[in-house]
Amino acid sequence: PQLFAGTGLGLALSQRLANQHGGEISVTSTPGAGSRFTVTMPWNARDADIHSEAPSPAASAFSPPPPHEPAGTDRKVLLAED
């Protein structure tokens, strides 16, 4: 029996959003363990909306990359739904 079930609407919306922005969704699945969906989006640091003002208190929880790493390389975002 399936332990977790949904309408699948979130995946369809995510795929459409990724496609509209030139990205893609891939999936890896392990029987009995679950599936991992990865959304890959293009990133162009020149087109990013970068502000020089101080970050808000909520944004300060995220730290900038160490000085030895060029900004904008190998960024990852984890999104979890419970």
What does pTM read for this prediction? Answer: 0.47
pLDDT at 12: 86
Residue with the larger pLDDT of the pair 8 and 45: 8
Overall average pLDDT of the 5-19 stretch: 82
Cα 48 from Cα 72, distance rounded (Å): 10
Cα 48 from Cα 46, distance rounded (Å): 6
User: Per-residue pLDDT tens for 13-57?
Assistant: 888 988 998 999 999 999 998 888 888 888 776 665 655 555 555
pLDDT at 24: 92
Structural contact between residues 39 and 23, judged by C-beta atoms closer than 8 angstroms: yes
What dihedral do alpha carbons 48, 51, 55, 60 form, nearest 10°? 30
Give the helix/strand (H/E) hosting 4: none
